Amino acid sequence: MTISNVYNLAAYLTLLVLTSCGITDVTRWSNEALINSAGQVELADRKRLTVLDELQCRSLDPNQYERLGQIFSQVIVSSRHSPVIRQRVMEGIMNHYQPTAAQWLTKALIYSQPGELRDRIIDSLVLLDDSRALTGLVLILSEKTQTNFLKNTPVGQAMENIAQQPLEKILIDLIADKLASSTPASGTTLSVSSAEPRQNVSLAARIAAVACLRRSLGHDKTVPLIMELAPLDETISLLRFWAGRFDYLPTNSMRFLQCYWQKTSLLSSQIEKLHRRVTHLSKRESCRFDPRDSYLLLKVRDSLIKFSRLQLSKLIASRLAALSHTYRPPSYPDALDDKPEGFADQCNILNYTDLLRIKLILDTLSQPAQTDKIRRFLKKDFARHDSEIGGLSWLNLSDVIFQEYEPAQCRGDNQFIESPAMIQDAAFCLSRWHCHTDQWRGKELAGPGIDDIRYAAYHNCPVVIFTQVTKNVFNVDYLNPEGTVIDLGNY
């Protein structure tokens, strides 16, 4: 049961208790009862309005206040609540909860869909004229805006109106953690770069600002701007290190985590070796560095690095041509998993490091002892119904070693929840992997589904998928974070 469901159940039980005891006067209700009832659709609108009025008169502790904001943010965007209640909640946030109004409304904006309601929330944030809304708005700008012309979007325009600065300047100030912390007086404009005391910008918002700046200006113009920032804290120092040494900028929290773990765990000699190989391959193969490749580039033998892109492609194509293949049908036409899986038509869009990985995996799959190990994983996955079997892969000389990790939680037969230890180890690995087995849908699961494609992109890590297609045959697929799928054959 999710936390949201727990709260809904608590609210419903609270209503039952209060009404069964004949307590209909909301002034006699506890703070918890009022908070639970504020988001309860079973309560009549007339009573809900009374609850909302009473809440405005109460003093709440920090935990209660935070939960009320979460409930209000969900009420605003949920069609399960009447327009009267949703309107009153929005007005209440604006008029009675000014210290956190920007935070609550930006949460609601994240839940909202494009349309009139989202426009009203954005207009309300501009009316609040509170720079603290910028941290939430930049997350929405990064995650929900498809175009690269960010300043022309409603969210981009709202940020410029609030800060009275060009969007690029706002983004740089967010990255540098220069967001003012005070709430402006009514009718007063507060600039991001004003001399007010600073508010600590969340890491997620700072990295989202990096992503937005890169999309707006392009990579080559963003890197110099990052290098111009004074290294006042660890975040900026880390950004400057990867931008200056490897011409790389992390654009989400998981990519930043990769950079952090590698910078803090690699020896100076390893960083130097990595830099030499990256520089060499950048000149020879026009490769652009990505931290997901650090482990591979440090561990792979020199003899394999000597292969050119063309040589690797020919070796892989020859090997795959000798194998049979099973392709997964898409969830529906044009779905995220509606993808080709052939190598010949896609080898030109693969990174050089993808080709290295595929070559290493195919070499490993040619060994009976290795395929026997994968069969044991699949057998274990078939017998287990509370989680998928999965883990990370490593290199031992030229062999790929697939190491199993226990899941952090067991949420069902078609999910694998990573443990904190696996997430940390994955910052420096060859790939992630997991199994697909089902008694009735074997061939239908041969390859990545929509969740797998999002999983690879979010974690910025290639994923190898083993699927039991018949009793004696399993299929292998390679998925990179860009969403390219290569079927590596049946075994």
pLDDT above 80: residue 193:
no
Q: In what order do the strands lie in the sheet with 399-405?
A: 399-405, 390-396, 431-436, 463-470, 473-479, 485-490
pLDDT above 80: residue 3:
no
In single-letter form, the type of residue at position 154 comes to P
pLDDT above 90: residue 263:
yes
pLDDT above 70: residue 135:
yes
Q: Which of 158-162, 269-273, 443-447 has the lowest mean pLDDT?
A: 443-447
Report pLDDT for 438: 87
> Which CATH entry fits the domain spanning 309-490: 1.10.8, 3.30.2030, 3.40.50, 3.40.140?
3.40.140
Report pLDDT for 180: 57
How does DSSP assign 306-328, residue by residue?
Answer: TS-HHHHHHHHHHHHHTS----P
Tokens 């930006």 sit on residue: 106
Q: Residue 24: which pLDDT band, with cuts at 50, 70 and 90?
A: low
Average pLDDT in the 313-340 region?
95
Q: Are 170 and 133 in contact (CB under 8 A)?
A: no
Q: Residue 17: which pLDDT band, with cuts at 50, 70 and 90?
A: very low
CA distance 396 to 295: 12
Q: Residue 143: which pLDDT band, with cuts at 50, 70 and 90?
A: confident
Average pLDDT in the 262-288 region?
95
Report pLDDT for 85: 93
Average pLDDT in the 256-283 region?
96
State pLDDT tens for residues 458-489: 999 999 999 999 989 999 999 999 999 999 99
Q: In sequence order, which ranges of 286-308 are alpha helices (DSSP H)? A: 294-299, 302-305
Secondary structure tally for the chain: helices H, strands E: 22, 6
CA distance 335 to 481: 17
State pLDDT tens for residues 352-411: 999 999 999 999 999 999 999 999 999 999 999 888 999 999 999 889 999 999 999 888
Report pLDDT for 179: 72
Angstrom distances, CA of residue 437 to CA of 17, 387, 417, 444, 473: 47, 11, 17, 10, 12
pLDDT above 90: residue 320:
yes
H or E element: which one contains 62?
Answer: helix 62-77
pLDDT above 50: residue 140:
yes
Report pLDDT for 307: 96
State pLDDT tens for residues 147-178: 889 999 999 999 999 999 999 999 999 999 98
Average pLDDT in the 195-220 region?
83
3-state secondary structure of 2: coil
State pLDDT tens for residues 44-69: 999 999 999 999 999 999 999 999 99
Report pLDDT for 169: 96
End-to-end CA distance of the chain: 39
Report pLDDT for 12: 47
Q: Residue 1: which pLDDT band, with cuts at 50, 70 and 90?
A: very low
Tokens 């994968």 sit on residue: 374
The domain ranges of the chain are 309-490
Report pLDDT for 429: 97
Report pLDDT for 200: 67
Structure tokens at 81: 């609540």
pLDDT above 60: residue 244:
yes
State pLDDT tens for residues 83-94: 999 999 999 999
pLDDT > 70 in the chain, percent: 91
